[in-house]
């Protein structure tokens, strides 16, 4: 499940603004246990009315331009997610549109926070620093190291490309940082200091720093990257071609498409959620068979974007070119869909998918008797849930869907990922024992205070104190509590509609040897006469052609979905 990946991509997401125009600059002061921090919220609106935002914390050095990862405005209710600092803001916009009042949440603590619309130019200097003349912020003549510099960090299990963009200004050198294979682009640095051939770049937001020596020919900077108490060698070389900084994703579709594409939205009235989606319709008269794509775990956009890949974009394009209409949707509370993602469970997401089926039935281009579901990872758990309780789904495809309860999945997943990343089977087995004990505790301990105390005791010495609260919050979230005890076999035993269950043989997140036999057994017990269960050789959890199956490979593989998997699904669906 992508919810468990260590490498979390930072994506600037936007959501549809349905009410007041809140574009502009907003000023407020956060009183955090006696420490007052001045904040400036910058909100901009794109031509399609989607919103983006950044946040400045004026009294914290280097804390300007913090990316806001999600923005949602519906019925005067504003929700912001600031993933990079694990913060969130829930508030209400005043009727006159001049103030926003609500609660800032960070590290499980809530603080009141009110923003006022800025009516004069916003000053962004910190109190502790002298004012800078406006001329000083202007670029100066380029230095001999201006430009982009790129290198790779070898973490042992993965190589991550890192790039620094250095610019000289009248106030000295500045830089931004990219972690290209993690999707982190334009991360502001705290300081850039040069002393002759020595260069130091500090990135306070991720507690990292680079110290290097500039070569005599100005072609490289050889040094070390320090972060979290560890140090890795990092050789930066000057980037001569900007194409070097681009992720190669050759399968991403390019316009013009040989089919119709339409931006749509529909309501899940039961949950009071409005879902934003893309509907692609084949050429021709129709009505066409159709599918609803169901994303894996974690807040996913309609393309299921991950580490530069867009699996559902590629899958949708393939299916539509083969005569199948496709509806792909932003998860609730993500991108342009409304609602709250953090408190939702798998069962809640299932109702969002049912709303998608209902919407497709209103489209004259779609044959209402031939609407199916394709679910990936957690989506492969959701599809059988829906098909088992109604006759709404004409067929389902489980892409790396689960066949056993979630506590077994996560224990096996952790063990498989560790082995694929280089740990010995014995070391991985010890970790599995610890995870099994931890999940059992979450499932059985009803007293929240006692549960937190026991979890802290189990994590002591293994998890840094600063990360412990965050991990406990994730482990005890509504989503994980539901997932741990949910048994997918219960729904699978009720299925009579056609089922295709596929898994990559190298999948370390939903291991095929654990799940495919359980899925097959449940479908046999259901009496289902129309199912196929296949393990696809050489493919990982994303159905890429892989070497080890470790999640650390995902970003480095140019292929988004193997044609073997695409053909398997397309041919099977058309046979139905």
Place of tokens 């508030």: 91
Residues 176 and 71 in one domain: no
Percent of the chain that is helix, strand, coil (3-state, to 5): 30, 35, 40
- Residue 88 is part of a domain; what is its CATH number? 2.40.128.120
Residues 423 and 461 in one domain: yes
Q: For residue 288, what are its two tokens?
A: 């066409």
Strand order in the sheet with 77-82: 66-67, 51-57, 35-45, 24-32, 109-117, 99-106, 87-93, 77-82, 70-74
pLDDT on residue 122: 57
Closest CA to 482 of 356, 353, 365, 385: 385
DSSP 540: -
Instruction: Render each residue's pLDDT in the chain as its tens digit; 576 residues.
Output: 545 432 222 222 222 223 357 888 889 988 765 567 889 898 887 666 778 888 888 766 556 678 787 888 887 889 888 876 767 888 889 887 888 998 888 755 678 899 998 866 555 544 443 333 333 445 578 899 999 999 999 876 567 889 999 999 888 899 999 888 766 777 889 999 999 999 999 998 788 999 999 999 999 999 999 987 789 999 999 998 877 787 788 999 999 999 999 999 999 999 999 999 999 999 999 899 999 999 999 889 999 988 879 999 999 999 999 999 999 999 999 889 999 898 899 999 999 999 999 999 999 999 999 999 999 999 999 999 999 998 889 999 999 999 999 999 999 998 998 888 788 999 889 889 989 999 999 999 989 999 989 998 888 887 777 678 778 888 888 999 999 999 999 999 999 999 999 999 999 999 999 999 999 999 999 999 999 999 999 999 999 999 999 887 888 899 999 999 999 999 999 998
Enumerate residues 6+ apart whose C-beta is below 8 A from 544.
504, 553, 554, 557, 559, 560, 561, 562
Closest CA to 489 of 399, 403, 385, 396: 403
Residues 392 and 310 in one domain: yes
Residues 302 and 325 in one domain: yes
CA atoms lying within 13 Å on the CB side of residue 217: 4
Q: Can you give the three-state secondary structure of 50-61, one letter per residue?
A: EEEEEEEECCCC
Domain boundary at 181, 209, 241, which?
241
Question: Residue 121 burial (CB < 10 Å; 0-12/13-18/19+)?
Answer: exposed
Domains identified in the chain, total number: 4
Residue 427 lies in a domain: yes
Residues 426 and 467 in one domain: yes
Domain boundary at 425, 453, 483, which?
483
- Contact between 232 and 93 under an 8 Å Cβ cutoff? The reply is no
Closest CA to 337 of 302, 304, 309, 296: 302
Residues 542 and 447 in one domain: no
Residues 320 and 233 in one domain: no
pTM of the model: 0.70
Residue 466 lies in a domain: yes
d(C-alpha 405, C-alpha 484), whole Å: 6
- Give the residue numbers spanning the domain of 503: 259-404+487-575
pLDDT on residue 73: 86
Residue 130 lies in a domain: no
Residue 134 lies in a domain: no
Instruction: Sort strands 172-179 and 184-188 into parallel, antiparallel or unpaired.
Output: antiparallel
Residues 337 and 308 in one domain: yes
pLDDT on residue 274: 95
Question: Residue 478 burial (CB < 10 Å; 0-12/13-18/19+)?
Answer: middle
Residues 83 and 154 in one domain: no
Residues 100 and 150 in one domain: no
Q: What is the longest distance spanned by two Cα atoms in the chain?
A: 77
- Contact between 533 and 520 under an 8 Å Cβ cutoff? The reply is yes
Residue 98 lies in a domain: yes
Residues 272 and 360 in one domain: yes
Q: For residue 246, what are its two tokens?
A: 């681009």
d(C-alpha 553, C-alpha 308), whole Å: 12
Closest CA to 237 of 155, 159, 181, 163: 163
Enumerate residues 6+ apart whose C-beta is below 8 A from 446.
none
Domain boundary at 483, 518, 542, which?
483
- Entry field: residues in the chain: 576
Residue 128 lies in a domain: no
d(C-alpha 202, C-alpha 188), whole Å: 10
Residue 333 lies in a domain: yes
Place of tokens 């412990």: 468
For 458, the 3-state DSSP assignment is: helix
Residue 43 lies in a domain: yes
Residues 381 and 516 in one domain: yes
pLDDT on residue 7: 27
């Amino acid at each position: 499940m992508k919810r468990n990946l260590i490498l979390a991509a930072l994506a600037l997401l936007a959501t549809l603004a349905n009410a007041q125009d809140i574009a502009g600059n907003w000023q407020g002061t956060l009183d955090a246990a006696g420490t007052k921090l001045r904040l400036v919220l910058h909100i901009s609106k794109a031509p399609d009315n989607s919103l983006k935002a950044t946040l400045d914390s004026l009294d914290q050095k280097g804390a300007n331009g913090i990316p806001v990862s999600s923005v949602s405005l519906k019925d005067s209710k504003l929700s912001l997610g600031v993933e990079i600092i694990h913060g969130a803001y829930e508030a209400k916009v005043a009727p006159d549109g001049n103030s926003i009042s609500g609660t800032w949440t960070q590290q499980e603590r809530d603080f009141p926070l009110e923003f006022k619309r800025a009516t004069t130019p916003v000053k962004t200097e910190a109190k502790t620093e002298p004012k800078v003349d406006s001329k000083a912020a202007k670029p100066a003549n380029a230095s001999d190291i201006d430009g982009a510099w790129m290198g790779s960090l070898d973490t042992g299990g993965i190589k991550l490309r890192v790039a620094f963009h250095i610019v000289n200004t009248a106030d000295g050198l500045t830089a931004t940082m990219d972690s290209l294979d993690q999707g982190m682009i334009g991360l502001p640095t705290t300081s850039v200091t040069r002393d002759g051939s020595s260069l130091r770049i500090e990135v306070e937001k991720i507690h990292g720093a680079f110290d290097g020596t500039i070569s005599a020919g100005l072609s490289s900077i050889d040094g070390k990257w320090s972060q979290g108490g560890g140090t890795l060698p990092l050789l930066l070389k000057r980037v001569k071609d900007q194409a070097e900084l681009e992720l190669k994703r050759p399968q991403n579709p390019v316009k013009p498409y040989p089919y119709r594409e339409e931006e749509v939205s529909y309501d899940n009235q039961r949950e009071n959620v409005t879902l934003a989606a893309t509907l692609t319709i084949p050429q021709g008269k129709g009505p066409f068979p159709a599918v609803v794509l169901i994303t894996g775990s974690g807040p996913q956009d309609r393309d299921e974007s991950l580490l530069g890949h867009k699996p559902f974009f590629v899958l949708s394009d393939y299916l539509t070119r083969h005569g199948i209409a496709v509806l792909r949707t932003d998860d609730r509370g993500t991108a342009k869909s409304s609602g709250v993602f953090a408190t939702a469970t798998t069962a809640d997401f299932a109702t969002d998918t049912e709303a998608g089926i209902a919407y497709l039935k209103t489209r004259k281009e779609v044959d209402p008797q031939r609407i199916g579901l394709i679910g990936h990872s957690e989506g492969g758990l959701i599809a059988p849930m829906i098909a088992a309780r109604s006759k709404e789904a004409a067929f389902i495809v489980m892409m790396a869907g689960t066949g056993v309860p979630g506590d077994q999945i996560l224990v096996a997943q952790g063990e498989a990922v560790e082995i694929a990343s280089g740990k010995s089977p014995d070391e991985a087995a010890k970790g599995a024992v610890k995870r099994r004990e931890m999940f059992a505790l979450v499932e059985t301990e009803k007293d929240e205070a006692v549960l937190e105390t026991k979890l802290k005791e189990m994590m002591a010495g293994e998890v840094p104190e600063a990360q412990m609260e965050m991990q406990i919050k994730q482990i005890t979230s509504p989503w994980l509590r539901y997932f741990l005890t949910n048994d997918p076999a219960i729904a699978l035993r009720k299925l009579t509609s056609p089922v295709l269950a596929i898994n990559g043989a190298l999948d370390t997140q939903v291991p095929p040897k654990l799940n495919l036999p359980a899925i097959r057994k449940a479908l046999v017990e259901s009496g289902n006469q129309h199912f196929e269960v296949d393990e696809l050789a050489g493919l990982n959890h994303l159905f890429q052609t892989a070497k080890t199956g470790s999640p650390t490979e995902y970003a480095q593989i140019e292929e988004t979905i193997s044609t073997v998997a695409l053909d398997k699904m397309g041919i099977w669906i058309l046979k139905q």
